[in-house]
Amino acid sequence: MPARILSIDVGGTGLKAAVLNRDGELVSDHLRVLTPKPCPPDLLVKTVKLLVAPFKTYDCVAMGFPGVVRDGRIITAPNLGTDLYAGFALAAKMAKALGKPVRIANDADVQGFAVVKGEGLEMVATLGTGFGTSLFRDGELMPHLEIAHMLANKDKTFDQFIGEKERKKQGNKGWNKRVEKVLPFLYTLVHYDRLYISGGNAKHLTFKLPKNTKIVPNISGIKGGAGLWRQETWK
């Protein structure tokens, strides 16, 4: 297990980074810049390199990315441009740019490493530019479920139905009604024991949450990077 992990949280709105110890606690300042718009892959790599330049000492890199990731390559990037990112070897490109080994996972998966208790079936839902989920069984990350791209209502996917654009369009009151409508679907889908809600828009929730559901800090998206490196192997 590396002693110091540079953890990077890639979002559709902002890019955040900090250095962690083995326990996932920050041992550096927490830095943030806006995500460029548009943000093609090469510009993302360049922007991240500039963001983390102040961090001089770390052993490895963990990155949470808003899309489906496999073997260090991007499969989907709904809020950054799937056409641009599909097949892009982001882990290898970041490793070359930073000179350190890099592990990348979906951003909700990374959040989960920071918040799950490791008991039973636990689910994480992120409310931000889009909508993300991850699922853990007894602390082990399960295969990624890209619920964000499934239809939530008529012709709108979950990303479109409760994402940031729709929150601004509907206002917080209307958006809360939509999120409240969506949450029971998650339970019906997996029958989780606990649900953790995070992401930049979690702070806008106003309705009474279902039982076994709690809001967790958005900084979990960075802290979970240590969990990514606790895995013996990673693809």
Quote the DSSP letter at residue 61: E
Statement to judge: residues 16 and 39 lie in one domain = yes
Statement to judge: residues 140 and 199 lie in one domain = yes
Statement to judge: residues 122 and 33 lie in one domain = no
Give the residue ranges of DSSP H helices in 53-205. Answer: 82-85, 90-98, 107-115, 158-162, 164-190
Statement to judge: residues 56 and 122 lie in one domain = no
Statement to judge: residues 36 and 84 lie in one domain = yes
Mean predicted confidence (pLDDT) in 38-50: 97
pTM of the model: 0.93
Domain of residue 68: give its range.
5-109+221-230
Report pLDDT digits (tens) over 81-106. 889 999 999 999 999 999 999 999 99
pLDDT in the model for residue 214: 96
String of b and e for 13-50 (b: at least 16 CB within 10 Å)? eebbbbbbeeebeeebeebeeebeeebebeebbebbee
Report pLDDT digits (tens) over 161-205. 999 999 999 999 999 999 999 999 999 999 999 999 999 999 999
Tokens of 153: 């209502």
Is residue 161 a part of any domain in this protein? yes
Report the number of secondary-structure helices (H) and strands (E) in the chain.
8, 14
pLDDT in the model for residue 14: 94
Is residue 173 a part of any domain in this protein? yes
pLDDT in the model for residue 215: 97
Is residue 172 a part of any domain in this protein? yes
Report pLDDT digits (tens) over 198-226. 999 999 999 999 989 999 999 999 999 99
Statement to judge: residues 152 and 226 lie in one domain = no
Statement to judge: residues 23 and 91 lie in one domain = yes
Tokens 């559709």 locate to: 12
pLDDT in the model for residue 232: 80
- The answer to whether 149 touches 159, Cβ cutoff 8 Å, is yes
Checking if the pLDDT of 145 tops 90, the result is no
Per the structure, the count of domains in the chain is 2
Statement to judge: residues 52 and 129 lie in one domain = no
Distance CA 158, CA 39 (A): 22
Is residue 139 a part of any domain in this protein? yes
Statement to judge: residues 11 and 102 lie in one domain = yes
Statement to judge: residues 12 and 81 lie in one domain = yes
Statement to judge: residues 209 and 225 lie in one domain = no
% of residues, the chain, pLDDT over 70: 100
Is residue 235 a part of any domain in this protein? no
Helix (H) or strand (E) holding 227: helix 225-230
Statement to judge: residues 34 and 98 lie in one domain = yes
Specify the CATH number for the domain of residue 175. 3.30.420.40
